[in-house]
Amino acid sequence: MIQVQAFLPELWLVGSAFLVLIVDLIQKPTSTKTLLKGIAVVGVLAALLSLCCVGGCGSCPFGSCGSMESVPQAFGGFLKTDTLALFFKFIILMATLFTLLISFRYFKANPTHYTAEFIAVLLFSAAGASALTSAQEIITLYVALETLTISSYLLASFMKKDKASNEAGMKYLLLGAFSSALLLFGFSYLYGFTGTTVISEIGKILATQVSSPLLTLAVIMIVAGLAFKISLAPFHMWTPDVYEGAPTPITAYLSVASKTAGFAAFVRLFWVGLSVPALQPTWIGLFAVLAVLSIVLGNLEALPQRNIKRLMAYSSIAQAGYISTGFLAGGQLGLTAVLFYLFVYLFANMGVFLAISIVYAKTGSDQIEDYAGMWKRSPLIGIVLLVCLLSLAGVPPFAGFSGKWYLFGAAISKGYTWIALVGMVFSVVSLYYYLQIARQALFPEPKDPSPIEMNWLEKSVLIICVVFTITLGFWPTPVMQMAQSAASSLFN
Amino acid sequence: MFPVLATILLPFAVSFALFHSVVQGPNILPVLSTLIVAPIIAAFLVMIAPEKYARWISLATASFALGLGVKLFLNYQMGISGFQFVEEIPWLKNLGISYILGVDGMSTLMVLLVTCVYFAGALISWNISLRRKEYFVLFSLLVGGVAGAYESLDLFFFFLFYEFAVLPMYLLVGIWGTGRKEYAAMKLTVYLLAGSAFMLVGFLAIYFTSNIHTFDIRALSDLSATGLSVSFQNTWFPLLFVGFGVISALFPFHTWSPDGYGSAPTAASMLHAGVLKSLGGYSIIRVALPLMPDGAKHWLPYLAILALINMLYAAIVALKQTDFKYVIAYSSVSHCGTILFGICTLEAAGLNGAVIQTFSHGIVAAMTFALVGTVYGKAHTRELSKLGGLTACMPVLGALFVAAAMANVGLPGLSGFVGEFLVFLGSYQSGFHGGFTIFQALFPMGVLAIVLTAIYYLRLVQMVFFGPVKDPHLKEEVKDGSFIEILPIAFLLIVSLMVGLYPKPFVDMSNLSIAPLIDNIGGFK
C-alpha cells in the first residue's frame, strides 16, 4: 500500500519546483521574481508543516489530523518516514528555507536571469535530500543521494560568468562522480553478498556471516564514497574550493543540508545494515581515524584562512569530524548527540552564512579584514558572528557547547576518551580562528562606517538564529527529547 | 522616564537589599538564582536603556547583589554543615544533569567575595567613556557567570557558568584594554579554554566511569557510591588539577595571567584577579579533592612543587618588572601559588588557609588593581622609571596604596596575614602525623616567597609614591582621587581589615566545608 504521507514533503517540494518553472514561462521576462520566491517559500513551509501530519506524533497542535497507528510507508516499504527521518527532514527543510532567504539577498547583489531555474533546482535537490532520509533500501538511497548531489553540482556552478564558481562546479562534479562510483561499487558487493537491497534485510543476513576481505572492501568503499559527501578528511579536498567558489547560499546549503543528508545515509546504512559483529569493529575503526583526521586537519588548515567562506569550509570539515565522534559511538546516546548537534549546527551555520551574504551584498568582499568594525555598521551582524561562531567553537553558554558535551560524552561512554580529548583540544584551536572573525567584527573602528542595511525578514531570521543558539545552550531539554525519540525509533 | 527610573531604582535596590540582609525572614526570592539572574537582567536593561543610565543600572544591581551576598553570609546556619539555600531543578533527567545551586561555608565566602568585587568594580568603572553600553553589558554578564560557577553543584552547570565568564573577559580585554590588548585577550582565552578542555573530558569520564550516573557534585563526592578506581583517580586527578590550575595561573601555565592583567581594563582585572582566578583553587577543593581523594594523596606532594615554583618564581619575576601593573599581576600569580600550596598540604589548617587566602587575595588584588588603574588614569603612564613621588600630588591614593601593599605582604591586622599564616601552619603540621614530609622541606622556601613579596612591594611603594618627583608635569596636573574613585578602594580596604582583625567568623565559615572534607580524605596520615 502506498501511503502518501510517507513522501508528502517531497511532493510539496517537487510540486512547487515545477510550479516555479511554469510560472516563470508564463511571466514576462522583465517581471520581478517576487511571485516565484513566494511560491518557493510557501512550498518549503508547506513541506515543513506536512511533517507534522506525517509524524502524527500525538503532540500535533492541529489535533489528530494524521495520527498513524504505524509508521507511514510507501513503495513496498522502500520509503519509510519514521521519527528519525522526520528529524532529519526538519533540519534539511529548515536549511532549504534559510538558503532561499540567503539567495534572495545574494541575487540582489549578483543579478541573474535564471532565478527560476535556481529556485527549482534547489527545491529538487532538497527533495532528494529529504527522500534520502526515509530511504530504507540502497537503490532508493542512491537515487535520492544522486538527486541531491547532481542538483548541487548545478547550483555550485550557477554563476556562469564567474570563474571561481565554474571551477567549483567542475571540481565538485568530478570528485563527486568519482565518490558516487565508489559508493555504488560498494553497494554492488553488498548486494552480491546478501542478495537483497533492503537495508534491514542486509543486516539480518550479514549477522550470520563471518567477516571476509571482500565484505571489508565493500565497507571501505561505502565509507569513502559517503565521506566525500560530508567532507570528512582525507576526502575533503574539494570542500574549500567548492565552498569558496560556489554562490554563498549554496555554500550554506552544502554545509548544512547536504551534510545532514550524508549523516542520515550513514546512520541508516551503518547502524541498521552493517551493525553486525563481523563488520562493526572495521568501520568503527575507520570512522575513528576519519573523525580524528577531520578534526585535526580541518581545524589546523582553517587557522591561516583569510577568506571567510574558505574558513567556513575548513570549519565544516572539523564539524563533520565532531559529529562523527558521536556517530561512531552510536547507540541511543551517540545518535541522540548527532541529531542534537546537527540541529544546533543548522542555526549557527545558517546565521553565519546569512550574515556573510548580507555583508557581501554591501561590501562585495568575503575577506575577513573587511569585517572590521562590523559592530558599528550593524550591531546585529556583530552579535550574530560572535554568538554563532562561538557556538561552533563549542563555548558555553551557546548551543554548540551542549552539543559537544553530548557528542564527546557519547564517545567517552564507549571508551573513546582519546578521541574526545583530541576533539576538545582542537576545539580550543578552532576558537582561535573563530575569534579572529569576531575580533575583526567587534574590536576595531570601521574603515567605512556606512551602516549595513537589511530588511525585516533578514533581521528577524538573524535574531531567531541567535536566540536559538543561546537558548539551546541553557535549555536543550525539548530538542534533546525530540532527538532521543528520533534516535530510539531506529532501534525499534 | 529613565532618570526617574534610575533614581528610584538605586535607593530602592539598596534599601531592599539591606532590609533583606538584616531581617531573617522567609526568602522572597531564591537568593542564589537571583544572584546569577540579577546581573544578566541588568545586562539586558543596559542594552535597552539609553547610554547614560548604564552605570546607574550597573551600580544599582551591584548594590543589590552586595546586599544579597551579605544576607547570605549572615543567614547561613553555622550549626549545620552541608549545603544550604539549595535550589534543584531537573534539567535533562536521563543524562543526569540538574540545575542545582547551593552554598556551603566555603562558597558562601566566595559569593560574598564576588558581590564585594562586583560592587567595587561597578564604582571603579564609573568614568568609562568608550562604548560604555557594551562595557557594562559584558561586565554584568561576567559577574553572572562567575557567581553561577561558585554556586553550581552540578558539573555541567559549573562548566557552563565558568566559560560563560571567560567570554566577556575576552571582549573586555580586547576592546577596553591597553597595550598589546588583542594578543593578551587571545592568549588569556585560549589558555583558559585549553585548561577547561581537560576539565570537560575529565567530568565526562567521571560521569561514565562512576557507578552513579549523575553530574551532581554532592552525590559524586561519596567515593563508596561512585566506586572510582584508584588507577582512574591517579590518571585523572593530575589532569583535572592542571585544568583547574590553569585558571589559578599554575606554573608553567601562568603566562596568560600577567599579559592579561597588564592589558585588561581596571574593573576587568579586578574581577579576574579577584574572583575568576580564585575559581581554580576553589574548584580543586570543591571537585577534584572530594571526587578523587586517592588520586589527590598520590599526586599532591608533587604538585606542591609546582605551587611552590609559582610562589617563588612569580615573586622573583615581580622584582624585575618595569611596568607598575605587571608587578601587581605577578604578585597575584605568586599569591595564587600560596593558595595552591595550602591545598596541597591536605591539612585542615592549610586548606582553611587556602580558602581565607582566596578570599583575601580576591579583595586585596581587586583593591590593588583598582589603585593601579586609578593612578594610571591620572598619570597616563605605568613605567616605574617615569613615576615617583606621587604622594605629593595624590596623598590619599598613596596612603591607600601603602595599605594595599601591606595587605599583599601579609601584615598582621590585614587579611593577607590570616591566610598565609594558616597555609604555612598547615604545611608545617603535615609532618606531625608521620615523620618528616615534603611540605616541611618546602615550607621555608614558601616563607622566603613572603620575604620577596615584601621586597618588591616596598620597592614599588618607594619608586612610585615616595622619593623625588621625576616628572614635574605630574605635580602640576595630577590631582588626588575623587570621591567616586576612593570609595571602592576604601570599601575593599575595610573588608580586608575586617578579615584581618576578626578572622573568626570567616575561618569558622570555611571550616564548615573543610573539616568534613579532611575527615573524609584523611590527609597524608
Q: How many other CB atoms are found less than 10 A from the CB of residue A478? A: 10
Confidence of residue A78 (pLDDT cuts 50, 70, 90): confident
Cα→Cα distances A111→A24, A160, B322, Å: 16, 12, 60
Question: Averaged over A241-258, what is the pLDDT?
Answer: 92
Residues of chain A found within 8 Å of residue B197, distances taken between Cβ atoms: 421, 424-425, 427-428
Q: Please indicate, yes or no, if residue A55 is contained in any of the structural domains.
A: no
- Cβ–Cβ gap A409/B159 under 8 Å: no
What is the model's pLDDT at position B222? 81
Q: Please indicate, yes or no, if residue A343 is contained in any of the structural domains.
A: yes
Continuous segment of H or E residues that includes residue A79 = strand A79-80
- How far apart, in whole angstroms, are the C-alpha atoms of residue B317 and residue B340? 19
- Measure in Å the smallest separation between the Cα of B356 and chain A Cα atoms: 30
pLDDT in tens, A141-187: 999 999 999 999 999 988 888 888 888 889 999 999 999 999 999 99
What 8-state DSSP symbol labels residue B154?
Answer: B
- A288 half-sphere exposure, CB direction, 13 A CA radius: 17
The partner residue sitting opposite A396, judged by closest CB among B95, B164, B174, is B164
- Cβ–Cβ gap B201/A421 under 8 Å: yes
The partner residue sitting opposite B197, judged by closest CB among A425, A432, A439, is A425
Residue type at B218 in one-letter notation: R
Cross-strand pairs, B99: B89
Least confident of A4-18, A39-53, B367-381, B437-451: B437-451
What is the model's pLDDT at position B17? 60
Q: Please indicate, yes or no, if residue A251 is contained in any of the structural domains.
A: no
What is the residue-level pLDDT of chain B in tens, covering all 525 positions? 555 555 556 655 665 665 555 555 545 678 888 889 889 988 888 888 888 888 888 888 888 888 888 888 888 888 777 788 888 888 887 788 888 998 888 999 999 999 999 999 888 888 888 888 888 899 899 999 999 999 999 999 999 898 888 888 888 888 888 878 888 888 888 888 888 888 888 898 888 888 888 888 888 888 887 888 888 888 888 888 888 988 888 888 888 888 888 888 888 888 888 888 888 889 999 998 888 888 888 888 888 888 888 888 999 998 888 888 888 889 999 988 889 988 888 888 888 999 999 999 999 999 999 988 888 888 787 887 777 777 778 888 888 989 999 888 888 888 888 888 888 888 877 765 555 567 777 777 878 888 889 898 888 888 888 877 777 776 677 777 788 888 889 899 999 988 888 988 899 888 888 888 888 887 665
Q: With beta carbons less than 8 A apart as the criterion, state whether B146 and B159 touch.
A: no
- Cβ–Cβ gap A443/B189 under 8 Å: no
Residues of chain A found within 8 Å of residue B207, distances taken between Cβ atoms: 409, 412
Q: Which residue of A has its CA nearest to B97?
A: A477
Continuous segment of H or E residues that includes residue B100 = strand B97-103
| Count: domains in chain A | 1
Residues of chain A found within 8 Å of residue B175, distances taken between Cβ atoms: 442-443
Q: Please indicate, yes or no, if residue A189 is contained in any of the structural domains.
A: no
The partner residue sitting opposite B200, judged by closest CB among A424, A439, A474, is A424
Q: Please indicate, yes or no, if residue A80 is contained in any of the structural domains.
A: no
What is the model's pLDDT at position A63? 40
- Measure in Å the smallest separation between the Cα of A294 and chain B Cα atoms: 18
Quickly list DSSP for B354-370.
HHHHHHHHHHHHHHHHH
Confidence of residue A122 (pLDDT cuts 50, 70, 90): very high
Q: With beta carbons less than 8 A apart as the criterion, state whether B121 and B488 touch.
A: yes
B122 contacts: CB under 8 Å, gap ≥ 6: B55, B58, B59, B61, B62, B139, B267
What is the model's pLDDT at position B196? 87
Q: Which residue of B has its CA nearest to A418?
A: B201
- Measure in Å the smallest separation between the Cα of B186 and chain A Cα atoms: 7
Q: Please indicate, yes or no, if residue A457 is contained in any of the structural domains.
A: yes
Among A397, A190, A340, A113, residue whose Cα is nearest residue B165: A397
Q: Please indicate, yes or no, if residue A315 is contained in any of the structural domains.
A: yes
The partner residue sitting opposite B197, judged by closest CB among A409, A427, A476, is A427
- The contact set of B with A (CB < 8 A) is 91-92, 94-95, 134, 156, 159-164, 166-167, 170-171, 174-175, 182, 185-186, 189-190, 193-194, 197-198, 200-201, 204-205, 207-208
- Measure in Å the smallest separation between the Cα of B141 and chain A Cα atoms: 11
Q: What is the ipTM of this complex?
A: 0.84
Residues of chain A found within 8 Å of residue B208, distances taken between Cβ atoms: 409, 412-413
Q: Is the pLDDT of residue A132 over 90?
A: yes
Query: Domain range holding A391?
Result: 279-492
| Cα B372 to chain centroid, rounded | 18
What is the model's pLDDT at position B14? 61
Residues of chain A found within 8 Å of residue B204, distances taken between Cβ atoms: 405, 408-409, 412, 420
- A463 half-sphere exposure, CB direction, 13 A CA radius: 7
- The contact set of A with B (CB < 8 A) is 375, 390, 395-397, 401, 405-406, 408-409, 412-413, 417, 420-421, 424-425, 427-428, 431-432, 435, 439, 442-443, 473-477, 480, 484
Cα→Cα distances B522→B289, B345, B349, Å: 11, 12, 13
Q: Please indicate, yes or no, if residue A176 is contained in any of the structural domains.
A: no
What is the model's pLDDT at position B123? 87
Confidence of residue A62 (pLDDT cuts 50, 70, 90): very low
pLDDT in tens, A302-343: 999 999 999 999 999 999 999 999 999 988 889 999 999 999
Q: With beta carbons less than 8 A apart as the criterion, state whether A450 and A377 touch.
A: yes
Q: How many other CB atoms are found less than 10 A from the CB of residue A405? A: 25
CA angle at residue A8 from A228 to A275, to 5 degrees?
40
Q: Which alpha helices (H) appear in A56-157, and where do they start and end? A: 83-109, 115-134, 138-156
| Cα B62 to chain centroid, rounded | 17
What is the model's pLDDT at position B209? 86
- Cβ–Cβ gap B95/A431 under 8 Å: no
Q: With beta carbons less than 8 A apart as the criterion, state whether B284 and B197 touch.
A: no
- A413 half-sphere exposure, CB direction, 13 A CA radius: 22
Q: Which residue of B has its CA nearest to A445?
A: B175
What is the model's pLDDT at position B8? 53
